[in-house]
Amino acid sequence: DTEVTQTPKHLVMGMTNKKSLKCEQHMGHRAMYWYKQKAKKPPELMFVYSYEKLSINESVPSRFSPECPNSSLLNLHLHALQPEDSALYLCASSQEPGQGNEKLFFGSGTQLSVL
């Protein structure tokens, strides 16, 4: 199994809603990532988890709350989002964090629309 699975694939939410994005991998990877990608732009790093601990937070607003319940799962909890948060949210994983040359495996993403 060399896949990173993200659910849901599409999500529409209002600014007062609370929702969660889910990501799962069964490759035994110990680093997991959340990226945000706006249309026709490169992905922007949001968070990095290394051995289930948050190691990088790229000054992301608190309305985005990551969680890593175990080594296979990564969640992104959303609350009180703004329309400008509409984007493709990509999860990724890599085998051994911190090597600097590791291959990232990306999921297909969750296309989020905030109304």
Q: Which residues bind other proteins (CB under 8 A)?
A: 4, 6, 31, 33, 40-43, 45, 48, 50, 55-56, 90, 92, 94, 97-109
DSSP structure string for the chain: ---EEEE-SEEEE-TT-EEEEEEEE-S--SEEEEEEE-TTS--EEEEEEETTEEEEE-S--TTEEEEEEETTEEEEEEES--GGG-EEEEEEEESSTT-SSPPPEE---EEEEE-
CB closer to other proteins out of 40 and 59:
40
User: Based on CB atoms, which residue is closest to other proteins, 85 or 109?
Assistant: 109
Nearest residue (CB) to other proteins, 18 versus 41? 41
- The least CB distance from residue 80 to other proteins, in Å, is 27
